[in-house]
Amino acid sequence: MRLEEAGKEMSTGKAPESAPETGGLIVSHFGVAVEVLFGGGERRMVRVKRNSGHVVGDRVRVAGEVLERLPRQTELRRRDARGSVHLVAANLDVLGIVLAPGSPSGFADRAIVAARAAGLKPFLVCNKCDLPEARALASEVAGTYAGSLSTFALSAASGEGIEDLRGFLREGHRGAFVGSTGVGKSSLLNALCPEINLKVGELSDHRWLGKHTTTVSSLHTVPGGGELVDTPGFRDFGLVDISSEEVVEYFPGFESLEENGCRFHNCRHRSEPGCAVTELVERGELAADRYRCYLDILAEAEAAEDAAARRPRKK
């Protein structure tokens, strides 16, 4: 649902006489306050507790200074390098995985599995394609993931290929980008949403927030259509509550197994007889390094399940 539509749909509840209730959408989060966009285009700051659980993309009802969060359709969460879980945004439908020369091995596959498990449609963006090594990476990525998901080769610096991505977002998507350090995620956001820097500057001038307050995240409209959540610091992308069955189902490259599947329906694609995946590896149709990445992600999910099973149940 787009920014201009969100408030209109949510203004249907009966408002208490003492505090009129209005529907809106959280479009910025400042730790101790959120900015809510209402149906008529009005924006208002509402104070919240620092660990309130509200995130950008949440649909809310506002009565005075009280926020009531409405049910979420999707949640984007990630586990950082320390093992802590962070809720990044809500009610997205796509996730852009930004790659560039030097991106960690296996990052794309891990992010694709996590996005699909969260109900999001992943797509790949190869940035810095004004450089020869990035063009080579984009060609490799397009070949590897052909038939699995959309890929875009572009340069945020030169503008090459940006319009193709704009066209995709213009279909009405609301998404976010994830990428490791140095892939140019911020440059890409600025190329797609030139008003981002101005917007952050304007919001930081609110006296009661303080000039040094930084936005946890904010939602921006892409000119021509689509929306993107700016998520500063969103680099690590550890799996969160993803089952081993979801890893088996969502790993990119296994889509053809629906027609030419394994002998056993619960195959984990290790050493089971009649496994279609190991046959793909043997024939060279699935690269050995990507297969090792799959096994690593699967082992991580299984270890988390085992740890949860051993954890004492609360009485």
Q: Is residue 217 part of a domain?
A: yes
Domain co-membership, 57 together with 112: no
In a domain, 143, yes or no: yes
Position 156 scores a pLDDT of 95
Q: What is the dihedral of CA 165, 166, 167, 168, to 10 degrees?
A: 50
pLDDT recorded at residue 216? 66
pLDDT, averaged in runs of 10, over the chain (315 residues): 48 44 90 90 90 92 90 87 81 96 91 92 97 96 92 96 96 93 90 71 40 63 93 65 90 76 90 92 89 94 88 72
pLDDT of residue 217: 81
Is 186 within a domain?
yes
Domain boundary among 230, 265, 287: 230
Same structural domain for residues 65 and 79?
no
Confidence (pLDDT) at 117: 92
User: Do 44 and 169 sit in the same domain of this protein?
Assistant: no
User: 184: helix, coil or strand?
Assistant: coil
Q: How far apart are the first and last CA of the chain?
A: 41
255 backbone dihedrals φ, ψ, rounded to 5°: -60, -35
* 189 and 96 share one domain: yes
- In this structure, the answer to whether residues 86 and 63 fall within a common structural domain is no
266/184 same-domain check: no
3-state secondary structure 19-74: CCEEEEEEEEECCCEEEEEECCCCEEEEECCCCCCCCCCCEEEEECCEEEECCCCC
When divided into structural domains, the chain yields a total of 3
Tokens of 145: 């993931």
Residue 315 lies in a domain: no
pLDDT at 253: 84
Q: Is residue 238 part of a domain?
A: no
Contact assessment for residue 104 and residue 110, using Cβ atoms and an 8 Å cutoff = no
Are residue 220 and residue 97 in the same domain, yes or no?
yes
pLDDT of residue 16: 41
Q: How far are the Cα atoms of 93, 100, 154 from residue 163, in angstroms, in the given order?
A: 20, 19, 9
If asked whether residues 296 and 263 sit together in one domain, one would say yes
At 200, which CATH number?
3.40.50.300
Q: What is the pLDDT of residue 9?
A: 42
Instruction: Give the pLDDT score at 22.
Output: 87
pLDDT at 105: 87
Please name the residues in contact with 24: beta carbons below 8 A apart, sequence gap of 6 or more: 6, 7, 10, 36, 37, 38, 39, 44, 59, 60, 61, 62
95 and 38 inside one domain: no
Distance (Å, whole) CA 197 – CA 1? 24
Task: Tell me, yes or no, whether 150 and 85 share the same domain.
Answer: yes
Q: What is the CATH number of the domain that holds 16?
A: 2.40.50.140
One domain, residues 27 and 132: no
**Which residues, in sequence order, are bridge partners of residue 67?**
62
Show the domain range for 278: 244-310
CATH of the domain at 303: 1.10.40.50
Please indicate, yes or no, whether residues 115 and 209 belong to a single structural domain of this protein: yes
